[in-house]
Structure 1
Amino acid sequence: LHPRVPVHVRVLASLSVMLAIFVVMTVLVKVDTSSWTRSFFAVTIACMAILSGTSTVFNSSVFGMTGSFPMRNSQALISGGAMGGTISAVASLVDLALSSDVTDSTLAFFLTADVFLGLCIGLYLLLPRLEYASLYKQLDFALPFPQEIPLDRISKIEEQPDQDSPTAPLAAPRPSFSPTPPLRPILKKTAGLGFCIIYLLFITSIIFPAVSTNIESLDKDSGSPWTTKFFVPLTAFLLFNFSDLCGRQITAWIQVPGPRSKVLPGLVLLRTGLVPLFVFCNYQPRVHLQTVVFPSDIYPMLFSSLLGLSNGYLSTLALIYGPKIVSRELAEATGVVMSFYMYLGLVLGSACSALLVHLI
């Protein structure tokens, strides 16, 4: 959709469709659907498919749009996603502790989604009126922002024509919508970062949530709520999302290794070792691998924190570097491509997680 539909149409249309779907789901909470059987299941699956597609359009469009802004704005956007996951995990724990009626809980969650989606639409309509946003959308620099990437590294990151040369093209206002973004040079320049993003999220989605949510407390037989009802929401969801948020937030202050460093893919490949660490915790049920190497509840908590922290820090670095290693006129399209790498990694990891669960 990027080369054919303007960004403001993509964002507003996707938000409107998501809001409409959630309003329908909110209404259905109070409707007796016990007699619908298969038709209700079909409606639910159709709604989930539409939500998935529209949220992908929204996320990739917004991330592509922030490619025209400094890296700190892209970092804030990515951290916001992790903050949403953390808030959801906290809300789930509070709901488990306080709520006794699943219908009321469901209604509260869906109403919250309705309010936030409506708020998103209002804030996006307000965005063009902000002087800060207008400034960066009107600028037409061919080099990355010097306050984001040091000047002595620009030549290593990107080859650009000399703007003072008589043969250099005159700067012209960049149109906000390009009908044919050159995909090949974007893919060529972002290939290394693309691999990092794909493999990072491949490893993460292999483990979370398919494996991590099936790790049980070794003290489960004690009957304590912390080892039964709260163990998985706390260790698998809250710790992972909070650690992911911390990792993403760290990139606001520390941005090493750089976009061309070989250390970055090395750290990404090193995360492969997290897979056996989770597998040999107290994953249940176990069919083929009977040995539990880590006989303590502290290990899944530690490993979930490490998984989230490394995922947040390394993926954010790769994502915010992408639009800054290409010329400014390609920044938006590059942001969309980076989000495509992200979803590709999630799809591959999710598909392979079923195989990993079967092998355990």
Structure 2
Amino acid sequence: MSRHRARTPDFTIQNDLQNELEDQPLIPGGQIQPPRDHYNLSYLAMVVFGLAALLPWNMFITATSYFDKKFEKGSPFVHKQFENFITIFSQITNVAFLFINVSLQNRFSAFVRIMGSLLVMCLMFVMTTIMVKIDTHTWADGFFGLTLVTVVLFNACAGVFQGGIFGLAASFTPRHIQGFMTGQGVGGIFASVASIISLAVTNGEDPIQSGFYYFLAASLVIIVALVMYPIFLNLPISKFYLDRVTDELSRSFKAPTVSSWTIIKKIKWMLFSVWATFCVTLTVFPAVIASIKSVSADSPLTTTYFTPVTCFLLFNFGDFVGRTVAGSVQVLTRKWLVILTITRVIFIPMFAMCNYHPDERTTAVWFNNDAFPIAFMTVFSFSNGYLASLAMMYGPSQVPSDQQTTAGAFMAFGLGLGLMSGAFMSFALNAVL
């Protein structure tokens, strides 16, 4: 049986599928059924890639205690606003490189873009781990500037990686998209649990040492993703879908060119939904919600662990559940998806009226009980994961298969744009409250 090599502008890998497919049954229409995803390896790979894609963002926003200690000797402005600056620099860079990734698709192969970005992220995490051990108290403001440079480099790579992987997932199946989204939720849980464990190991008394364990764990995750990507490309099911992309691209070169604007118009409401979901989320998370204090008596749970548990862990767990449920429960029509996305705006005043910045606020606290922010967070986090995942899955399905990779890249850009918009709104909200 003959062997052949498929070449595409975006994927340069060997396709050797005849032996894998010769016994596969046909699906309606005479097309060959994809190979089985043995042990769910391709799905699990997407989960790992999703985890790695948001790991820099999750790690930097969750390491609140570490950065608070590092910047305590700096200027009061830096010490108070470092979370907002990290958020804004992260999202501006991420959105810019998600957009740049679209233009890079035909210039650099996916292998180069994805492996290159993972290698740089790995090196940056190693450097960040080393910086934990360096005393920066005498140059806290300088270290703040260095941290922002690190954030920019991290998120530039994360933007290229996320856009590349999501474009890849969009050319596979909705299940692979959901796996990538679920992995992003796992990344949030990983960061939250790593933060809590590192606090527990040091008894909450040494945030600098806890930061060392924290960033070291992140370095190991990126290494796993580096090893996983070449393995993923050589799975039979991956070769099948990449070979299909090759065939469809070769046919599309003979057909009239479809403009990006035409694709955007087909997925516009799903683009809006994913943008609005993350815009609302980033408006209050983490900057506002992380500043909500417990109203209960002093104890480790209401002081040291209150924010790591009720803000970061609860959000990331609820977000993960929402993303996971979206893979099997898709009862919302596109119309109701848009409507429910818009209604999430109500969470902004709800969290603001909890015990937010109790020592500085000038307005009354309406929800003066710890049960309120916990209940709000439960619904807030689940809706974020569920609605965003549905939008990301529905979007590419609205265009022909030869346009799905581009549609997927635009959906990733819409996600990043929502994060950036929310970051700016959070900065404004924090200044007003």
TM range (shorter): 0.7 to 0.9
Q: Which amino acid in 1 is paired with 2:414?
A: Y
Q: How does 1:1-360 map to 2 (within 5 A)?
A: 1-32=104-135, 40-99=143-202, 100-139=205-244, 172-174=247-249, 182-219=259-296, 222-258=297-333, 261-285=334-358, 290-360=363-433
Q: Which moved more, 1:20-29 or 1:182-191?
A: 20-29
Which amino acid in the other structure matches residue 77 of structure 1?
A: F
Deviation of 1:40 (Å): 4.3
Structure with higher RCO (Cα < 8 A, 6+ apart): 1
Name the structure where helix makes up a greater proportion of residues.
Answer: 2
* Alignment CA distance shift 1:17-1:358 (3 Å): same
Contact 1:288 1:359 in 2 (8 A): no
Looking at structure 2, the residues matched to 288 and 102 of structure 1 have their Cα atoms a distance apart, in angstroms, of 27
Normalization by structure 1: what TM-score?
0.84
Cα displacement (A) at 1:250: 0.5
Work out the CA distance in 2 between the residues paired with 1:62 and 1:49. 20
Cα deviation, residue 355, structure 1: 1.6
TM-score by length of 2: 0.70
Structure 2 Cα separation of the partners of residues 353 and 56 of structure 1: 21
Contact kept, 8 Å, 1:22 with 1:110, in 2: the verdict is yes
Closer/same/farther in 2, CA of residues 266 and 38 from structure 1, 3 Å limit? closer
Residue-by-residue CA offset, 1:234-258 (whole Å, 9 max, x unaligned): 1111111100001011011111213
**Contact 2:198 2:211 (C-alpha < 8 Å) held by counterparts:** no
Between Structure 1 and Structure 2, how many residues are aligned? 325
> Aligned to 2:351, what secondary structure does the other structure show?
helix
Q: Distance in 2 between matches of 1:60 and 1:289?
A: 43
Is the Cα contact below 8 Å between 1:6 and 1:177 reproduced in 2?
no
Given the superposition, is the C-alpha separation of residues 34 and 229 from structure 1 closer, same or farther in structure 2, using an over 3 Å criterion? closer
Distance verdict in 2 for CA 1:10–1:139, change over 3 Å: same
SS of 2:332's partner is coil
Q: CA deviation at 1:98?
A: 2.5
Letter paired with 2:345: T
Contact kept, 8 Å, 2:284 with 2:348, in 1: the verdict is: yes
Q: Distance in 2 between matches of 1:245 and 1:315?
A: 11
Superimposed CA distance per residue, residues 296-319 of structure 1 (whole angstroms, 9 cap, x where no aligned partner): 110000101111000000000001
CA change 1:35–1:204 in 2 (3 A) is closer
1:2–1:333: 8 Å Cα contact kept in structure 2?
A: no
| In 1: Cα distance, 2:135 partner to 2:142 partner | 13
Amino acid at match of 2:154: L
- Decide whether aligned partners of structure 1 residues 312 and 176 sit closer, same or farther in structure 2, where only a CA change above 3 A counts: farther
How far did 1:139 drift? Answer: 2.4
DSSP 3-state at the match of 2:249: coil
Structure 2 Cα separation of the partners of residues 294 and 36 of structure 1: 40
Distance in 2, Cα, partners of 1:183 & 1:340? 13
Q: Aligned partners of 2:127 and 2:350: how far apart in 1?
A: 42
Q: Which letter does structure 1 place at the counterpart of 2:148?
A: I
Contact kept, 8 Å, 2:289 with 2:311, in 1: the verdict is: yes
Which consecutive unaligned segments of at least 5 residues does structure 1 have?
Answer: 141-170
- Look up the match of 2:75: none
Q: Indicate if the aligned counterparts of 1:138 and 1:174 stay in contact, CA closer than 8 A.
A: no
Name whichever of 279-288 and 312-321 sits farther off.
Answer: 279-288
